[in-house]
């Protein structure tokens, strides 16, 4: 699936294009798409199939994922994705320290039946934070050029590209 995050003057747009060519797009608010970035990072790191992007890849429309009805019926892995993403975002704000991350994730996960927290160590968390900081920095500096993020051999590599779609970040997922 190709994930496109496009920076507009006052808003940003999230577009997901599935392998079959179908797509879903949502025009989001003026905030930085940090939470979307954290989902991309944690879902790739822990190979979560039922996280935000995995659910879209399976056919859901982005707009469907914010409804109150859906939240009642999400899987434990979907909740895990949300817990990991929220806490990764908290690392950047300073609300959580790298050393506390795994413990806080386990504490939150205990409240929901069926969540299996993956093994993670300090280096895993440090690398996820580094990747998140890199995406956020590139987003804030982006002007009339895109940024491509590729997953190769489990590593995320970032490189500036000239894009026909100015102000766009492209993520290619398997």
Give residue 100's pLDDT band: very low, low, confident or very high (50, 70, 90).
Answer: very high
Q: What is the pLDDT of residue 172?
A: 57
pLDDT digits (tens, 9 = 90+) for 38-82: 999 999 999 999 999 999 999 999 888 876 666 667 899 999 999
Q: What is the pLDDT of residue 147?
A: 47
pLDDT digits (tens, 9 = 90+) for 102-142: 999 999 999 999 999 999 999 999 999 999 998 888 787 76
* pLDDT > 70? residue 87: yes
Average pLDDT score, the chain: 82
Q: What is the pLDDT of residue 139?
A: 80
User: How many CA atoms lie within 13 Å of 169's alpha carbon, on the beta-carbon side?
Assistant: 25
């Amino acid at each position: 699936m190709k994930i496109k995050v496009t920076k507009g003057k006052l808003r940003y747009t999230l577009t997901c294009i599935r392998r079959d060519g179908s797509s879903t797009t949502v025009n989001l608010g003026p905030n930085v798409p940090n939470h979307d970035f954290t989902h991309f990072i944690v879902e790739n790191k822990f190979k979560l199939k039922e996280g935000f992007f995995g659910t879209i890849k399976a056919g859901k429309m982005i707009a469907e994922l914010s409804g109150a009805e859906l939240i009642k019926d999400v899987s434990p892995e979907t909740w895990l994705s949300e817990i990991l993403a929220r806490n990764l975002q908290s690392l950047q704000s300073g609300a959580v320290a790298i050393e506390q991350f795994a413990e806080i994730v386990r504490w939150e996960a205990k409240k929901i039946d069926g969540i299996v927290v993956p093994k993670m160590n300090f280096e895993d968390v440090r690398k996820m934070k580094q990747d998140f900081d890199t995406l956020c920095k590139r987003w804030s500096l982006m002007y009339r050029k895109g940024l491509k993020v590729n997953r190769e051999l489990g590593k995320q590599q970032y490189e500036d590209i000239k894009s026909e779609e100015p102000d766009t970040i492209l993520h290619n997922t398997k």
